[in-house]
Chain A
Amino acid sequence: MAVHRPSPADPPPHPTAPAHGTRTPATPLPRRTVLRAAAAASGPLLLGACGTRKDAPRRNTGDPWRQFAGTTLNFISENTAPTAAIAADLRPFTRLTGIRVNIVTLELSALVQKVALDLASGQAQYQVIYADPYQVLAPYSKGLVDLRELAADPTLPPLPGGFGDFIPTQLDAAGRFAASDKVFALPYDCPTMIWQYRRDLFDKYRDRMAADLGFDPTPGEDSTWEQYYAIAKWFTDNADDVPYGTGHQAKQHDSLMNDFSNALWAHGGSYFDDDTAVGRLGTIDPGPCRLDADAAIAAAEFYRRLLSVADPASRTWDWDGVGAAFRAGRLAMCPNWHEFAAGNEAAMPGKVGYAPLPKGPARRAGMYGGTGIAISANTLPNERRAAWLFLLWATSPDTQLRGLASKVGGGTPTRRSVYERGDVKAAARRPSPMPNLLTTDAVERTWRSENIGLRPKIPMWNECDTAIYTEVSRMLAGDASPAEAMRSARKRFDRIIARGWAA
């Protein structure tokens, strides 16, 4: 099957070269007629994206919001809380602009597949894109519009509060890639990992635990991962109210990388030399992987020890599984995304407390998993402007506020001005009409730049992600020691990164 021959003297991949220019003449390559025929037959179909498309008409109207009335936009999104809230009521936007919006919601891996194909098609079936920073933004930032151009367009309504109203770490992490100038996405949701615990049980056993363990178990500023481990074990051994002290999202899945990373950073381990920079702005070349450093191996050892006292079903759970188990009363505590608070409050009103994750020997780290919404660079000029109107509206303070109160459980705000509102501040205390806001304190403390956990934002992250969660899963299954798993992960990372990325 394989026809072996030396690679032709191809120029190295040039990221901005247009597709039409990259079609290497077939001559140096396939000597066999069959292959030449294959290239000839499929070439024209594979390459080129010509054809005329019609842009949205622009109307003459004094109202900048209504100039694209009658246009239809397609928004492709993961099925997240804010999208659910927006999808539940699009009328305000249609009333405001006269633009119709179709929302296609998909599970994340399906979304990434469709977005990549749409960007590859050279057209924009989906003008507005839910741009996961690691799976869409980093690999395909060149396929997205620099939003600063639209924000500066005087014919369009202004961005309320400017880019500065978005929480800065989030604007960098979810909106930018590799350079601090261009903005590709507006922060849209902001799930963050925090410590969720059964306040009722902690209250009930506080004194006994304090006596047995020698420290106050109440989650707070000084709690450490070692204490977390001790509390978990104590609950499993001593309390009949719940079968297990802690549960984790340790399925062979993206969730395992998230859960493990918190421990990794807390113990002073890191993926690369400078995880702060690689995580916040991102880069194409992160340098050599550091997962085989002693601190990383120590973190892996701790994580394995922690999981050995956790609910054994942890190995089958992603965030959804651990959330359901916590709601069902199986666990005294777990690290999970803060947006699960709404579900917790519905299942066990008033019984759950929220705190930032514990500290490790090096620092405290809580994984940030926020995402922005972006515009496909394949859009035509007016389509692009109409899409910008949707971005403006969907991330506006009013919409974020409406999402908080939505019955379908909207997301949490990504703007500073919203958190400063009196009613939003009040909702951070019980009884709260916006239950996700009960996590506000824990989340805001996690977002501080010294506490936030940002996974590497590199274009080849998907493959690295798979490498790390597969290795940790092997470690948890007993197939590899912590040191073996980390060394093997490092080798894989280096191999993947050496292969490079050409979008």
Chain B
Amino acid sequence: MTRPTPLERGSLRSRVAAAVTVAVALVWTLVPLAWMALSSVKPSEQVTAATPDLLFRPTLGNYRALFTGANDLAPYIWHSMLAAGAAAVLAVVLGAPAGYGLARTRTRGKRHLSFWIISTRMAPIAAVVLPLFLIYRRLGLLDSVPGLVLAYLTFSLPFAIWLMSAFFAQVPPALEESALVAGCSRWQAFRYVVLPLTKPGLVTTFVLCLVFSWNDYAFALVFSGPDSQTLPIAASQLVTQTGIDWGQLTAIGTIVVVPMMLVGIAVRRWLVTGLTLGAVTGE
């Protein structure tokens, strides 16, 4: 991020106004998350107390309950990591070359091709589930992590192609031309010249695909089974006939959120520069 010079940052008053705005936004953003984390370490009778309780003896009981007994959460976490991770990697691996091709191609139907790619992401989930389910059954993909990966690709891949093509479009063609003059093949020019330049874009794409896959509920509900359930499914399982165990639910919520938070924090710098390079700067 380039920092604005003091001159542009505006008057003291506008800076104070900015600080206040950010503070308010932070409260709005963080209160629900903090309350969730706090509730997850409360004794269960205090979780649903009529008056919010800030004084309590912290307990890990809710977390312990999630990892012992009939529905141990550990495999859910593992499936989620495998499926979302693989889907994000594949989306980038397939989406980057396709995005490059799309950015550079001179086909007449390019406009339509590009629009078709985005439109695949708009498909209403509830309508496409039945046909996909039947295809999956034919191919034996139900209740398997590869099946989930494929399902996640239905929304991650178009997103990746589309975003990456925008990043590649920003790389001046002159760079490749000089590489070609220097004797590189097209592939080498792509691999050694263009790709390194779009690294922030790759990271951004990877993270956003990871987030969308990790958070998916609708597809996971249909395509997962005893051997491939994911975390959002585990969360919905706590909605039972005789009530919701809010203590365990907030614990699961925390578990679902924390890894993505860490990923988000780890690549935040890349996220900002990535989008900067890709979507904005022209030259």
Contacts and interface: CB of A to CB of B under 8 A. Distances in A.
Task: Report if A and B touch in the complex (beta carbons < 8 A).
Answer: yes
Interface of A: 42, 45-46, 49, 74, 78-81, 84, 87-88, 90, 102-108, 110, 113-114, 117, 120-123, 125, 191, 319-320, 323-324, 327-330, 337, 339-340, 342-343, 347, 409
B131 A104 contact: no
17 contacts: A45-B131, A74-B225, A79-B237, A84-B70, A87-B69, A88-B69, A105-B71, A106-B233, A106-B237, A107-B236, A113-B221, A114-B222, A120-B133, A123-B137, A327-B48, A328-B49, A337-B242
B70 A79 contact: no
Contact of B71 (A78, A87, A319, A320): A87
A333 to B, nearest CB: 18
A106 B236 CA distance: 7
Given A106-B237, A125-B142, A329-B50, 6 more contacts: A45-B134, A78-B240, A107-B239, A117-B130, A191-B241, A343-B243
A340 B238 CA distance: 16
Interface residues of B, number: 31
Interface of B: 45, 48-50, 69-71, 130-131, 133-135, 137-138, 142-143, 221-222, 225-226, 229, 233, 236-244
A313 B131 CA distance: 41
Contacts of A324: 48, 243
A108 B70 CA distance: 19
B131 A46 contact: yes
Contacts of B135: 45
Contacts of A125: 142-143, 225
A339 B237 contact: no
A374 B243 CA distance: 24
Contact of A81 (B48, B238, B241): B241
A329 B137 CA distance: 50
Most chain B beta-carbon contacts within 10 A, residue among A79, A121, A347: A79
B18 to A, nearest CB: 38
A87 B70 contact: yes
Nearest to B132: A45
A244 B50 CA distance: 15
B133 A320 contact: no
B224 to A, nearest CB: 9
Given A42-B131, A46-B131, A105-B71, A347 B45 contact: yes
Contacts of A114: 221-222
Given A125-B143, A324-B48, A81 B242 contact: yes
B243 A110 contact: no
Nearest to B133: A117
A342 to B, nearest CB: 8
A125 B242 CA distance: 27
Most buried by B among A80, A191, A320, A342: A320
Contacts of B239: 79, 107
B237 A328 contact: no
Given A117-B222, A125-B225, A79 B134 contact: no
A114 B133 CA distance: 11
A328 B46 CA distance: 11
A409 B138 CA distance: 41
Given A114-B222, A121-B137, A80 B70 contact: no
